[in-house]
Chains A and B, each alone.
Chain A
Amino acid sequence: MRNFLLAVNTKYMKALTNRVKEVDRRPMTLMERAYLPAIFKGMAITFSHMFKKAPTISYPEKTRPFSPVFRGLHILNRDEEGRENCTACGLCAVACPAEAITMEAAERKPGEENLYREEKYAAKYEINMLRCIFCGLCEEACPKDAIYLSETFAPANFQRKGFIYGKEDLLIPNPVTEPEAYAKAKGGRVALK
């Protein structure tokens, strides 16, 4: 009964897509049975591929260029005078769908005006890169242009705790004391505001 149904099916059932190709089950012609013409054709194809350029990018030495909106690892931003932008408002942590961001706020003391831009700052700022989904919502939530996603990617570590990035990992180099490193970290980014 099942075989009969199958036979009916294959004979009368219409194909569900328009890309169906009928299998050619005719016996091979003499040319095809000689194999050699087809073999030479195939060998010509493989030979022609010897002169094609390989699309490989030799990774550690060369990298693929990213688009300016690429979302890689996070960077905590500073202003032109080298002060941290972050005020520990917690909007990024609230916006984060993966709950990857934790922070502790602290009050700026007199004499720290060259370190922090406003009266409140993040004493501790941690992002768990294993939880992060690199959606960029933290960047969008931030009112102070303090966090953004860079073009750096593929973090590697031997332990899970190595993926929890603290402030020392996230902060951009100081533009006043290390201008070259700052420029390199900033890359081609244009502030959205």
Chain B
Amino acid sequence: MLLSIDLFLVIEKLVLIIVVVMASLVIAMYATFAERKVAAIMQDRIGPNRAGPFGILQPLADGLKLFFKEEIIPSFSSKFLFILGPSLAMLTAMMTSAVIPWGDTVTLFGREIHLQIADINIGILYVFGVVSMGVYGIMIGSWASNNKFSLMGGLRAASQIISYELAMGIALIALLMVTGTLSLRTMVIDQTDGTWNFFKQPLGFLIFLICVFAECNRTPFDLAEAENELIGGYHTEYSSMKLGFYLFAEYINMFISSAVMVSLFFGGYDIPILNDAHAVEKIGQNWMAVAHIFMFLGKAFFFVFLFMWVRWTIPRFRYDQLMNLGWKVLLPLALINMLITGAVILFLQ
């Protein structure tokens, strides 16, 4: 047989996919709750505390509410695209998680399992491809709504993501020049052995961070849904779970891009100071993998918190400020960063 696929490999990957997808859904769910709590605490309020102890059932109540709301598809919209929009937003949000290394290897039933759905050697390019597809969900949805406000939101989202993807890509090129690999797994392993990429590329990280904020449509770059000028922006016409999908995709995106940032710049699942080889001898490989996962999630949650922290601090950029920042500041900065990195690498050789 030419195409002999190991059945266990399929099962293993399937389990991994289900776990990762479920985990990111649950995390996104509680990210909505965390957002409200963080907002409340930063504004000297208490926040949702009525549903369950400390309000921990609030996301369930929110989700349930969205499910039971009336599903409205405007008669003047193109129905197929109208449904495709939020589905695409959700799909692309989930797809990015495939290449993220959540931890090192575990040995279960005599099989070595990498805690990563797909270790492809162009991991970063894949992330890039999927993330830039994410805007199609917004664009198609806003276009299909046949509403001026939605269209404006969609246009803004599209132009914003084009502007910031450039700077983001160039910031990443500098990083790739330093690491010499496109595989996220290799990158994390390199960082575990050496220093974190953040210390090699601080400016690159800053540019990347700002661009990630823009890509996720988060404040201060949430012009696509600017409530006070565009009503709801691209999701003005949406209701029920389709609106829920859009909102949910934003939180999944936030979590996944935090995870990508951690993998790229902050050593992924690497536990700082701790010598991994010693620890593995002490507590065994599987427990070490668990510790790695927690470390990874901890780092990712910090960035999710950062997203929220910034949201409740900074007001929205004006549209011309956004474009100025993207084209006249971040892009040249990223280019200079790339040139300097290249020069330093050449000098060190």
Residues of A contacting B314 in the complex (Cβ-Cβ under 8 angstroms):
39, 42
Instruction: Find out whether the CB atom of B43 lies under 8 angstroms from the CB atom of A49.
Output: yes
Q: CB-defined interface of A45-73 with B at 8 Å, one 1/0 digit per residue?
A: 11101101111101000000000000000
**B6 on the A face (CB < 8 A):** no
Q: Is A43 an interface residue (CB 8 A)?
A: yes
* Interfacial residues of chain A within 10-50, with CB under 8 A of chain B in the complex: 35, 39, 42-43, 45-47, 49-50
Q: How far is the CA of A51 from the CA of B98 in the complex (A)?
A: 38
Instruction: Check B9 for interface membership: any CB of A closer than 8 A.
Output: no
Chain A residues within 8 Å of B320, by CB: none
- Assess the B313–A56 pair: CB atoms within 8 A: no
- Given A43-B310, A47-B309, the answer on whether A56 and B42 have CB atoms closer than 8 Å is no
Within 8 A of A (CB), among B285-315: 309-310, 312-314
CB-CB under 8 A from A54, the residues of chain B are 40-41, 44-46
Out of A46, A52, A55, name the residue touching B313 (CB < 8 Å).
A46
- Cβ contact of A49, chosen from B44, B46, B310, B325, cutoff 8 A: B44
Check A39–B44 contact: CB distance below 8 A.
no
Distance A146 CA – B41 CA, assembled complex (angstroms): 48
Residue of A nearest to B315 (CB): A42
Docked-complex contact A55 and B310, CB < 8 angstroms: no
**Option from B41, B44, B45, B313 in Cβ contact (under 8 Å) with A42:** B313
Contact partners of B312 in chain A: CB under 8 A = 46
CA distance A35 to B321 in the complex (A): 11
Tell me the nearest residue of chain A to B47, going by C-beta: A54
Question: Which secondary structure characterizes the binding site on chain B?
Answer: loop
- Bound-state Cα–Cα, A35 to B40, Å: 25
Instruction: Kindly state the interface size class of chain A when it binds its partner.
Output: 10 to 19
Contacts of B41 in A (CB 8 A): 49-50, 54
A118 to B310, CA, bound (A): 71
Docked pose: A47 CA to B42 CA in angstroms: 7
Interface centre among B43, B309, B313, B325 (most CB of A within 10 A): B313
B42:A49 contact, CB within 8 angstroms: yes
Most buried by A among B44, B49, B325: B44
Residue of B nearest to A41 (CB): B313
Are the C-beta atoms of B313 and A39 separated by less than 8 Å? yes
Establish whether residues B42 and A46, one from each chain, have CB atoms under 8 Å apart when the complex forms. yes
B42, closest chain A residue (CB): A46
B46 near A58: Cβ-Cβ < 8 Å = yes
User: Smallest CB–CB gap between A14 and chain B, Å?
Assistant: 33
Q: Complex formed: what's the CA distance from A37 to B184 in Å?
A: 32
CB neighbours (8 Å) of B45 from chain A are 54, 56
Bound CA–CA A47/B49 (angstroms): 21
CB distance from A51 to the nearest CB of B (A): 9
The answer to whether A43 and B46 have CB atoms under 8 Å apart is no
Q: With both chains docked as a complex, state the minimum distance between the C-beta of B311 and any C-beta of chain A, in angstroms.
A: 10
Contacts of B310 in A (CB 8 A): 39, 43
Which chain B residue lies CB-closest to A42? B313
Q: Determine whether the beta carbon of B42 is less than 8 Å from that of A50.
A: yes
| CB pairs A–B below 8 angstroms (5 shown) | A39-B314, A42-B313, A43-B309, A49-B44, A54-B41
